Amino acid sequence: MNVQRSKTAALSFACLLMLVPSLAGANTLERVRLSNTLNLGYLPDFAPFSVRVGEKVQGYAIGLCDKIADKVKAELGLPELQVSYQPVTAADEISAVSSGKIDLLCTPTPPTLQRRKSVSYSVPIYTAGLSAVVYQDAPATLLDVLNGKVAHTGPTWRATVNRGLSNQTYVTTAGGVSEAWIRQQMRLLGVVATLITVDTTADGLELVANGKADAMFSERMLLRNLLDSRYPTGNLVLLERIFEYAPTAMAVPRDDEDFRLLVDTTLSEMYRSGEIEQAYDKYLDGASDTARKLFKVYALP
């Protein structure tokens, strides 16, 4: 009797082992169907795009992911599908997608070539603008250069730029578009300055507030949100100038066109129906005329 039970248990275990590779190789929608769970990743301190408040996850990107989850439920015929929001960090957000820990990264990131080696991307969901924050009593030479108030030709321009930007300390988040842009500009202008990289935008603003850095470069909406919530006294100033634009999108598993198509279909329908603009109104203080024009570009026909 015991021998028979042992044989049965061994056979069951062998069947499970055979199933593991099959599940690992399954596409996202098959994996979701088998587990009855859709795992959505997000950065928990990335307001107004994604933020955890108590037990609730909210923000612009979360609202879009809620719509994608509804589409998955309808596509799979699973109205009781469990939707689980999983917090990730900036250091592991891409590996969380590529390893299958999460099925989709809701928080938007720039689709760089380096990241595309590990993941694919949805259509853009937001156009990021690179801006800078300085202390309220920053030197006039620095403000003039950062605000673009210098001549753009001849040796006078280069000298003026160097007087405004040399011997300064700048800070930005590590590994992002802003770091690559700043290093390129410093190299092109021949500026001798110090660049510090940090993990989060909040860390960079703290350095400026404490006098350890002269300017923090990051995404404009993130900077404005942090200034409103953490520095309401006005000691730190967000410059009006936008130095660079970059489309950002949701990271999806690589080589899974069925799931990517579902995500892109959902987002494109939201663009055409006006739901994206409503989300802008709710979380991002409304869409500019430029953003509305890009809505038509980003939506797939």
CATH of the domain at 257: 3.40.190.10
Whether residue 47 is contained in a domain is answered as: yes
Whether residue 10 is contained in a domain is answered as: no
Quick one: 172 and 107 in the same domain? no
Residue 189 pLDDT: 67
Give the domain range for residue 286: 22-127+250-298
The tokens describing 111, both together, are: 């689709």
* Pair 39, 84: CB distance under 8 Å: yes
Give the span between the Cα atoms of 44 and 107, in whole angstroms: 9
Quick one: 39 and 88 in the same domain? yes
Quick one: 62 and 88 in the same domain? yes
Confidence check: pLDDT of 1 > 50 = no
Selection from 143, 132, 95, 151 nearest residue 222 by Cα: 132
Q: What share of the chain is helix, strand, coil (3-state, %, to 5)?
A: 50, 25, 25
pTM over 0.85: no
* Pair 230, 208: CB distance under 8 Å: no
Give the mean pLDDT of the chain: 87
Count of domains forming the chain? 2
Give me the mean pLDDT over the 87-113 stretch. Answer: 95
Quick one: 37 and 88 in the same domain? yes
Distances from the Cα of 279 to the Cα of 130, 224, 285, angstroms: 21, 18, 9
Residue 150 pLDDT: 63
Quick one: 173 and 149 in the same domain? yes
Confidence check: pLDDT of 154 > 90 = no
Quick one: 122 and 180 in the same domain? no
pLDDT by residue (tens digit) across 115-136? 999 999 999 999 999 999 999 9
Residue 145 pLDDT: 83
